Structure 1
């Protein structure tokens, strides 16, 4: 099995880490790959680093685009990819040298004939791969289905895109939502498993996720991105799935969230309802007032005190 694998590396001002990421691509034991380095309008030394790799190895391709965010950059790479398989790699992360080889070997097994996604485990790094840390969650193959990604995401686990290895055919219709500044991976994972509910799990750390203070981290509670995520899922899920998911997310964000309970106490003291009104407006926009009705009844009771 010697198909072309397209490795998509979105970059924005990560020149200090990009060389290490690209070196991990260069070191892959499987050699039939193209690496698309998509520069999302960087103003640091990203271009110089990328072009130095492209100059010494024609499998590296440097492409520049106007700044549009990580989703538009990945989508740009998907459009340019020529491979039968796709591997994503963020510009500050690293692939184990056997990532491509072991993923393809799994797909060669007769029992995996219908499989289109291979998922590997990961470890975390701060400065050096040699000083890596265990993953922040325990991955289990039982989680890799629509139900798992919908209801256990950020409860039991979350999963970086570089942990996946994908049949490129999946991305004929799937793109990263460009209206989101966070949580876009979540939407794409659910979209992928709506198309194929089969995946193989390699319980080895074949990807390394960098702990970066500037990384986008998930915040608890309903913010603008959460509302936009709900809008994205509305286009993907059935009515029943969407209703169950939206109710679960509201419950997760408010009923079980210690931060929200603290906010409620502050609300009682301050008699300020701007937060509740903002949430109500957002939920109305996404058609979620019905599952959130109990929450708003609580606000009304608080207002009366």
Structure 2
């Protein structure tokens, strides 16, 4: 039996079977051999199960789990619960990784708790421009809290995490921005880390990506802020609250300006995502005053 550290790869899947072969092939092609890959089918209505079972039959290191639909966070948590590795690699089923990602990371397993690579965007046809988040500032709780989505935009499959430092699972109430919260929890544990400029993660761009739904992302950003205020204890929270209050007020004003032509009595407007989002923001602001 290999004495190399075991890496557990967690692949949540929902209704994207067309990408799963390419994703899992990038795991199978790893030059570092001691890994397991847990494929979590989150109640997909497409042929995800057929594809996943094919891979589980091809190589016993692939393990298949079906669960009722609960969202991305729920699927990742299910994979974490089944994982046996000392290291965790999250990999969404529409993305992929470079063949030497695990081998390169293993050079730091004795000295680090978190190994982060750079990444590159790609679509159905080609690799796109480099997307470099490389930063000079310390990877600290405060820096990440105030600069997420700006200086810190790190797809989660860029990282390999030491499992023993994962103290909190993904918040299953969040349908987006769950990575932000997970990163904050992990960074609070003061991991020894390294950030490399090697492009070892590939992030797929496609029209069905939820990141293209601006209102949806804003709604979940508000939920993430509520979570941070409720669950984290930090000397920086008061400053953070003041910052997001200002941002939210500005967002409301912009949304109001762009929707002045809509009547407040219009039932379609009241049922819209904008109306729901605006109401949640006002509630959040009133609670934090």
TM-score, with normalisation over the residues of structure 2? Answer: 0.86
Runs of 4+ in 1 over 6 A off after TM superposition: 267-271
Structure 1: how far apart are the matches of 2:279 and 2:49?
Answer: 45
CA deviation vs aligned residue, 1:208-252 (integer Å, no higher than 9, x gap) = 000021112173799542332123212442253222222222333
Q: 1:279 aligns with which of 266, 278, 281?
A: 281
Q: 1:177 aligns with which of 165, 171, 181?
A: 171
User: Given the alignment of the two structures, is residue 107 of structure 1 paired with residue 109 of structure 2, yes or no?
Assistant: yes
**What secondary structure sits across from 2:117 in the alignment?**
strand
User: Given the alignment of the two structures, is residue 120 of structure 1 paired with residue 122 of structure 2, yes or no?
Assistant: no
The aligned counterpart of 1:25 is 27
The aligned counterpart of 1:74 is 76
Query: Any stretches of 5+ residues in structure 2 without a counterpart?
Result: none
User: Given the alignment of the two structures, is residue 59 of structure 1 paired with residue 54 of structure 2, yes or no?
Assistant: no
Structure 1: how far apart are the matches of 2:207 and 2:108?
Answer: 35
Rg (Cα) greater in structure: 1
Matches within 5 A, 1:260-275: 262-266=254-258
Structure 2: how far apart are the matches of 1:28 and 1:222?
Answer: 33
The aligned counterpart of 1:231 is 226
The aligned counterpart of 2:214 is 219
TM-score, with normalisation over the residues of structure 1? Answer: 0.82
- Once structures 1 and 2 are overlaid, which stretch shifts more, 217-226 or 73-82? 217-226
The aligned counterpart of 1:208 is 202
Given that 1:220 and 1:253 are in contact with CA atoms closer than 8 Å, whether structure 2 keeps it comes out as no
Name the count of aligned residue pairs. 276
Do the aligned partners of residues 271 and 103 (structure 1) sit closer, same or farther apart at CA in structure 2, a change above 3 Å counting? same
- Quote the RMSD (CA, aligned, Å): 2.5
**What secondary structure sits across from 2:210 in the alignment?**
coil
Structure 1: how far apart are the matches of 2:35 and 2:136?
Answer: 27
Query: Any stretches of 5+ residues in structure 1 without a counterpart?
Result: 291-305
